[in-house]
Amino acid sequence: MHVAIVTETYPPDVNGVALTVRHLATGMAARGHAVSVVHPRGESPPAAGELLVDAWPVPRYPGLRMGRPCVPTLLAHWRRARPDAIYVATEGPLGVSALAAARIARIPVATGFHTRFDRYLRDYRAGWLARPFRAWMRAFHARAHATLVPTQALADELRADGFRRVVRLARAVDTARFHPGHRDEALRAGWGVAGDAPVLLHMGRMAPEKNLALAACAFEAALAARPDARVVWVGDGPARAALESSHPHHVFCGVRHGADLARHVASADVFVFPSRSETFGNVTLEALASGVATVAFDTGAAHEVLRDGVHGACVRDGDDDALVAATVRLATDDALRATQRAAARGAVAHLDPARVVADFETILARIARHGAPRRAATRACLEGGAP
């Protein structure tokens, strides 16, 4: 099968969408499929199988780009090498162009619901746009044969809101890369950690929609109760400068990749993730796989795998005080923290990245087999037998 993947973000971008899409692309190639990836042009030349399109910078996100409308380019590209199915991972101008080109060329297409843009708007002082934007997202995904989401809770929510052909495609984590064995005492010493003092971690994009003010509040409360603790931030983004200025006693490590990222995560003790705008939150799985007790709201990945009181704290969504209290409790109770760190990896041990790719293959094969004109048959097939 020839699969085309269209995405506004792709490595070297560092975010959950980019890394998830790359995992699907490389996994499909490893299973013997021809895979082509379309994404915005960056500084690097295209790799084999990539089509780079002209891009605009994303406002307030230095380094990120979104593809410009390019229907003729995509049509010409896919007429030279016609895909059996297309996966559109993002809802930007490039995704809109891909849906239009797929419809013209009569190529079956699936979309991914990766990002809660409707929720982001309130963090950028445009909450009044949330309802019309949600309607636009519903119309965007209605043009696909399947809309892939990472959790059953999100699938149920979208179906109740009028989204059609919603299919769950689970997420997993590389438990060899993210492993407690990568803990590095020399790195901890470089952070100023004395002995077994706890390290409190946040990792991810540093932007308003991530609710970072609450993370900082939880960290400061923990430091007040446990002064020898250390706070470490891994990641970058438009909110970093303000956080560094207001919290100079925290450690800011910037973006980390590969084995270096795994070493930073495993060297922490408590991961605090206060975001309420995630469709999933891959970093939750990465922290748990690394043996790090995790504090998060009961949404996305935390709702799926994090058992409250066993792997950390799974806090009722929106209960800020409870999230702060859980962070303080884990920072100050050495025995509890040790027990939950030891149990954390068990939360994700059953997740298999290879199974995720196999399920993705099954979904795309189904829509390819039923063909673009047969929407009713495709809907019955997907909703009746999809993973």
Burial of 320 (0-12, 13-18, 19+ CB in 10 A): middle
Closest by CA to 293, choosing from 346, 236, 218, 219, is 346
Q: Is the dihedral of CA 154, 159, 163, 169 positive or negative?
A: positive
Comparing 379 with 17, the larger pLDDT belongs to 17
How confident is the model at residue 58, as a pLDDT?
A: 74
More confident residue, 256 or 114: 256
Render pLDDT for 288-308 as a digit per residue (tens, 0 to 9).
Answer: 999 999 999 999 999 999 999
3-state secondary structure 301-345: HHHHHCCECCCEEEECCCCHHHHHHHHHHHHHCHHHHHHHHHHHH
pLDDT at 383 over 60: no
- Cα separation, 114 vs 21, in Å, equals 10
Q: Which residue has the tokens 């399947």?
A: 146
Give the per-residue pLDDT at 111: 97
2-172+353-385 and 180-347, same CATH topology: yes
The amino acid present at 132, given as its one-letter code, is P
CB atoms within 10 A of CB 214: 18
- CB neighbour class for 261 (10 Å; exposed up to 12, middle 13-18, buried from 19): buried
Domain ranges for the chain, please list them.
Answer: 2-172+353-385, 180-347
What φ, ψ does residue 23 adopt, rounded to 5°? -60, -40
CB contact at 8 A, 331 and 222:
yes
The pLDDT of residue 47 is above 70: yes
Fold of 2-172+353-385: Rossmann fold (3.40.50)
Q: What band does 378 get if pLDDT is binned at 50, 70 and 90? A: very low
Nearest-angstrom CA–CA distance, 109 and 112:
10
Q: Is the pLDDT of residue 176 over 70?
A: yes
**Cα separation of 175 and 248, whole Å?**
33
Report the Cα 114 to chain-centroid distance in Å: 7
CATH of domain 180-347: 3.40.50.2000
